[in-house]
Amino acid sequence: MNKFKNIQWYPGHMFKTFKQLKNELKLIDVVLVCLDARAPKSSKNPMIEELLKDKNCIYILNKFDLSDKSKTLEFIEKNKNKNNFIAINSKVQETRNKVIKKINNVMNLINKKREKKGLKPKISRVMITGIPNVGKSTLLNNLVRKKITKTGDVPGITKSLQWIRIDKRIEILDTPGVLWPKFDNKNVALNLALIGSIKDKVLPIHEIFDYGIKYIKTNYYKRLVDRYQINENKTEEESIAEKFGALGKDNSIDTNRVHLIFLNDLRSGKLGGITLDEV
């Protein structure tokens, strides 16, 4: 019934990374779990969560600027550990201090315990983790104030683990994105495809398009009217093709181009801030 059950995009390098994360964790004081604010539930990796259950975690709702901000804030507010969450845009300067402050709050508690045992404060060892394309390396570059590590709007940019010192007291480990081996819920897989965390070729693009258009139509209808002038007399594909001239030789609709235009608009925020999960 659910054909997404068998969708697997768990290449060997993700398996390898997962094992490396597990090894490195012993040294880590604080984990920055990078989520995509547009899909705060779908972008949480259940395998990583299991691994982190005894760790101090700060949940980063990254790409806040691309999300439906009121939904993101509602999501945080409803969470019982709301102080462990922070909504940010990793591309702006002021984010750096906000994140460092959160890290220092956690470290102060750790160092207080150490002080009671007569131990000196320690350098904070922080790991950034999360699924592909959520902005881990962008956040790291922001914290280091340099373009240390490569970023890009496709999943799988970072290939290996990398330690970097961001100030006198904090060292950070950037890691490649990891997914989990099997998606039991088709909406989760489609949400991850919509935010670009699963490579486009893993799922049929027309299914990603159909799901995305339906979701935006249901939840943000006016945005489709504003951008593509959709109306009841045409399909959405026709409206998009007309607006962007996405037509083949015989004037037929170039559906592949239409799908890519829509996905690109959605991912880049041209349809406004969106949230794909129920919060």
Comparison of 110 and 144: residue with beta carbon closer to Mg ion: 144
Between residue 117 and residue 136, which ones bind Mg ion under the rule CB under 5 A?
Answer: 136
Tell me the torsion sign for CA atoms 112, 115, 119, 121.
positive
Q: Report the C-alpha gap between 276 and 71 in whole angstroms.
A: 10
Taking CB under 6 A as the rule, which mask of x and - marks residues 122-141 in contact with ligand GTP?
--------x-xxxxxxx---
Does residue 157 belong to the site contacting ligand GTP (CB under 6 A)? yes
Does residue 153 belong to the site contacting ligand GTP (CB under 6 A)? yes
Residue 156 binds which of Mg ion, ligand GTP, none (CB < 5-8 A, kind-dependent): ligand GTP
DSSP line for 130-191: ESTTSSHHHHHHHHHTS--S---SSS----S-EEEEEETTEEEEE------S--S-HHHHHH
Pick from 67, 90, 111, 124 the residue near ligand GTP by CB under 6 A. Answer: 90
Pick from 156, 162, 247, 255 the residue near ligand GTP by CB under 6 A. Answer: 156
Q: How far is the CB of 170 from Mg ion (least distance, A)?
A: 19
Question: Which amino acid type is present at position 123?
Answer: I
Helices 221-228 and 205-219, interaxial angle, to 10°? 110
Nearest to 17 by CA among 154, 180, 172: 180
Which range binds Mg ion by CB under 5 A, 96-104, 121-129, 158-166, 188-196?
158-166
Contact 277, 44 (CB under 8 A): no
Enumerate binding residues for ligand GTP (CB under 6 A): 62-63, 65-66, 89-91, 130, 132-138, 151-153, 155-158, 176-177
Enumerate binding residues for Mg ion (CB under 5 A): 136-137, 157-158
